[in-house]
Structure 1
Amino acid sequence: MKKYSILLIVCLLALVNCKTDDFEPLSEFSKVELFTPSIFDLNETTIANSIPISINDFSSLTDVSQGVLSRVWTIEDGARFLKPTFKRKDSVNLVPFIDGTLGKESTVETAHVLFQKAGETSVSLKNNFNEEVSFLGKKAVLNEGVWEIITVFNFDVYGDLEAATSVSNEANTAILGSLEANQNPNKDETSSFKTITIEAGSSLTYKDLSTIGRPDGRVWAFEGGIPETSEEEELSVSYNRLGEYKVSITATRTKRGNSLNAAEQTKTMPIIVKVIPSTKPFVIVGEGKSKDDNTAAEGTNTFSFTVNGELESFTGAESSFTVNVVNGSVFNQNFTVTSAKVNSSNATQVDLILSEPILNSDTVSVSYNGNIIKSVDSRALVVFSNINVEALNLNLLTNASNPGFENASTNDRQVNSQGYNLFVGGGNSLDNARNTDGSLMINRSTEMASTGSASLKFDAEMPLAAGFLSLSNTIASNSGIPAGDYKLAFDVYLEKDTEFKALFTVVQGGNPQGAGTPFNAPGTEQWFQVQRNFSLNSNLTRNVILNFRNNDNIGVTGRQVFYIDNIQIISREER
């Protein structure tokens, strides 16, 4: 079979890059080739893939086959041939360059094809030769004395982006307004916009409904809202400050190959969110929380509390607070508040600084009796008494010790978590730590986590055939914990019907070094904390060990599944 050369040059350029003089005659080739910027590795598989391109964009295809007798380009409905006279500056609007003399076929060497309809379409090239040829595994067919070969280019034409959204009430049970795909409101002409009135401190639920043009992302902008911006598909936005606000969304589509450029479209929703004063009382929410004051001294002199609305800046409220500190039966004092102000990054939070530090062994409460603190919608904070302040328990095990199993490995002996080592009773054979399906009885998991994205999963039949499984954290020393009095703590989550009772924990070099550590679970299907005390006479240089033993779980039988996370060593601060 004689190899005539078939050479096709395909230029698929976004509108901003089109240029008709980019094609230069090529010298003869001894093999068939096809050039297209959007198919880097051209082969029989890739040429069958659809080429993405935007609506009202064009593709230029050049046939410089050698020995060709005739050619015919054929396009489908929604596509038009362009005249070769347009320039780069004309590419924004190519309609004036449509070749009205051509229908669905053209015999030109270079075909410029404009796509005016979204969806799948194709451009085909039929070449005739007087000798047999082949191209990308396809052989020419003899037809009425000439050899005919057809090459098909499939295009996937993306429509223009048309953003669409909805807004619902706080409970997300009723739609209050919408932006339809066929709407594009003028953000400066709001007389026809629908007003949605809500009280300060309330929220609305927004949802991106955009599908036209196949967007793959979005950026919301919420005037007066929290958050102010978001890329979430659906979210709740709260409004605390009085005023009238607009909402906009930018639908986005990422670049695909060299033929489809990134695109975006911004629209304003035809709504006005009107925030009026709340009829709800302005109150404290939950407990106070101690904060790290970033000093080397024991304890902390800083804590905060949160309220149910945005705070107006204030001064002079320190004397309106009473902070009571109790430790055992011999210490009971009120600490002076030396500073009270709105948190700089969270306008629903009040930060208090005390004259002296509070310890994590203290019982602390805060009371407020004043009229200085107000919300941005002019509500006075309701007085409160004896609200508990949560102690500051800093984990001295740093990320370098992998206390939350976040750092993975690919080693079953390490339970696939960096810095851990599994010892198996009855000879230390890892086979005795596997279930019948081959899975490890103890292994790193991303199914559950109390913090981060990973935890340690125990999944085994009790009693254990090996008698016990012992998991050591061999890199606890990386955290540089000095001599002192501490608590060993970790979070536990028991799956339904799990009755596992306790671990035997070991802190090598600690006093006591080993101790039974009962779960005392408040229930299943919830995270809770387990802890026990120990002391160090010198720096922690050895291992922290979790022992899963039959002896600590007498009477526990059947499949037991639970998770451990967030191993902590916490300083015990005593008065």
Structure 2
Amino acid sequence: MLSVVGCKNDYDPMDTLCDVSWYTSETIKQSGVYKVNVDSFISFMDLSQGCLKHEWIIEEGSKFLKNDFNYKDGNLSSQVDENKGLVSTRQQESVFFAKPGMTKVVLRNVFSEWVRSNTSEPVEAVKEGDDWVLTKEFPIDVYGKLDPAVTVKKLDGTVVLDIEPGYEVSDDKEQWTKIELMAGDQLVFIDKEGGDRPDSRTWAVANRTYSDKEAVVRFTNANTFSGFTISSSRKEPKANVRKIIPLVVTVKPCTDPFEIDYASSYVDVTSPDIIVLQAKNGAFLKATGVTDDFTVKVASDNTELDVIEVVIDESDNSRLNLKLATPVYPDEKILVSYNAGANEIVATNANRVLQNFSDQEIRNDYLGESVIPDAALKLCGFELPYAGNYWADNNSLKHCSLSGDRYYEGAQSLKVDINSVLSSQIFFMQSEPKYFALEPGTYKLMHYIYVEKAGSGLAGKPYSAYSMGANNEQHDEDGQIVQFKFPEKTGEWVLNSLVVTYTADDIKNGKMGYKFVFPQTTPQGSLFYIDNINLIKLR
């Protein structure tokens, strides 16, 4: 039996099998590669019995720790046992990884007869002379330290500050880079992802936080700002490093007319009854009694959305929030107008007031609320077995299966592998008892598709969704057809969506279901994934 234990987090001395089992993680089993930070360790224990000879073998850059090392001591490098070299015959060893990169730890046991490990992926002994030798390799990916690197630019591309990995920030602010801006000017903070494989970052700039790789920061208030930071992070193996950005920004009042930045204004995707107007060159000081001065309408049919409240954002006074009586719907083009009345909207400096504007489009990225019940959404995202009384298929399991290989959200998707010529179409559909309640109206039927392998001519070929309502008593194909096309792009998730309108006659007993069909003409050799089927209400 071979067992391996984990890293220094939550480490305890290993005396029992229970300890060993506890240190074996699912993540390691699935990936097959151990991921550790440089200057950390993994402890290994061999539970084999009847060995003639036993060895743990490591490579240059790795070292055995002393038998009585203290894992709580932050300086593990001082507890290395140089006398052990690269080979140890002890049953239990802890290996310190001092060098980033791929390495391995090898267990080599010699037996007098053939043996096989009792593991999920068995390893068998190989005959060498008169002995049987069992060799097990543990591949280890040693991640180096994180070392944030940053470039700060103006919108015109002029570099303000450039910090490379290893840059030491002076404690003396007089040595820092200084720049003057006008209220409303913007800087771009670019994460150059210094260090070994960071996967996220958090910027802290002028009392706000950002997570984008390239964060565009608008300085709206006249003041002097400094103490900006970037925190670079990695999920596995866990690491986080925070670095100060040595930059001092002095913002001067703007005397230009006070205006809205329409391109940066938007519908709040978490509260679609709120429109956020972003000041272009300053911040808001006063906006009272101005509700009737704004007009919001849907461009397609000039439907007006009543504005019931106008307030300055509590967390950012460069934003003005318009609260609507009814929410904005997905895909709607929203136009906003402002015509100052008796109470003007005032900026924070230079006695400036907001300029009038008419029918300016603001960004609407709101995706809408699902009408599919919460209990069914997991099934529509294939987080639960699709055939478990919700989805059924035409005996196509040789083509369709749940998979954790790819997923847009959650942990699974539906994998469709056209691995042979189709004798007929393949489909999966909701079973009738699992239809969901639906009212007549206009909706957007959507899902995400990931094409991994495109068979010859797959791009642009159709596949369909059939509405399973009143016209589909026997689940035949005379219902309303929503026809999608396979995307041109491969290797990335693509949102496919189409608008559908249902009358009362289209819906059976107030309920609706769907059947997705991949036709017989779907090219052989195609491999794709479907995830997050959804139905969104439109206006």
Matching of residues 77-476 of structure 1 within 5 Å: 77-90=60-73, 92-135=74-117, 136-143=122-129, 145-171=130-156, 173-185=157-169, 189-224=172-207, 228-245=208-225, 246-255=227-236, 260=237, 262-283=238-259, 307-314=279-286, 342=312, 344=314, 347-348=317-318, 367-368=339-340, 373-378=345-350, 380-381=352-353, 384=356, 387=358, 401=439, 403-406=442-445, 416=465, 430=477, 442-443=483-484, 455-456=497-498, 472-474=501-503
2: CA distance between counterparts of 1:304 and 1:142? 74
2: CA distance between counterparts of 1:133 and 1:191? 70
Q: Deviations over 1:245-273 (max 9, x none)?
A: 23211111114xxxx4x221111212222
Gaps of 5+ in 1: 1-6, 27-33, 292-299, 325-336, 354-362, 391-396, 434-439, 458-470, 479-540, 544-564, 570-575
Alpha-carbon deviation of 1:415? 5.6
Which amino acid letter does the alignment assign opposite residue 241 of structure 1?
Answer: N
Corresponding residue number in structure 2 for 1:357 = none
Please identify the structure whose Cα radius of gyration is greater: 1
Matched, 1:22 2:25: no
2:41 paired residue among 44, 58, 68 = 58
1: CA distance between counterparts of 2:294 and 2:83? 88
Q: CA RMSD in A?
A: 5.1
Contact 2:466/2:479 (8 A) holds in 1 = no
Normalization by structure 1: what TM-score? 0.55
Contact 1:131/1:147 (8 A) holds in 2 = yes
Change in Cα spacing, 1:72 to 1:374, as seen in structure 2 (3 Å) is same
Contact 1:415/1:421 (8 A) holds in 2 = no
2: CA distance between counterparts of 1:263 and 1:430? 54
User: What SS does the aligned partner of 1:405 have?
Assistant: strand
Aligned sequence identity (%): 22
User: What SS does the aligned partner of 2:72 have?
Assistant: helix
2: CA distance between counterparts of 1:432 and 1:417? 6
Aligned residues: 390
Change in Cα spacing, 1:421 to 1:207, as seen in structure 2 (3 Å) is farther
2: CA distance between counterparts of 1:377 and 1:234? 29
Which amino acid letter does the alignment assign opposite residue 10 of structure 2?
Answer: N
Which amino acid letter does the alignment assign opposite residue 186 of structure 2?
Answer: S
2:2 paired residue among 1, 5, 8 = 8
Normalization by structure 2: what TM-score? 0.58
Which amino acid letter does the alignment assign opposite residue 63 of structure 1?
Answer: D
2: CA distance between counterparts of 1:408 and 1:348? 36
Gaps of 5+ in 2: 268-272, 296-306, 324-334, 362-368, 372-437, 450-462, 489-493, 513-534
User: What SS does the aligned partner of 2:83 have?
Assistant: coil
Alpha-carbon deviation of 1:49? 2.6
2: CA distance between counterparts of 1:542 and 1:59? 56
2: CA distance between counterparts of 1:148 and 1:338? 80
Contact 1:162/1:182 (8 A) holds in 2 = yes
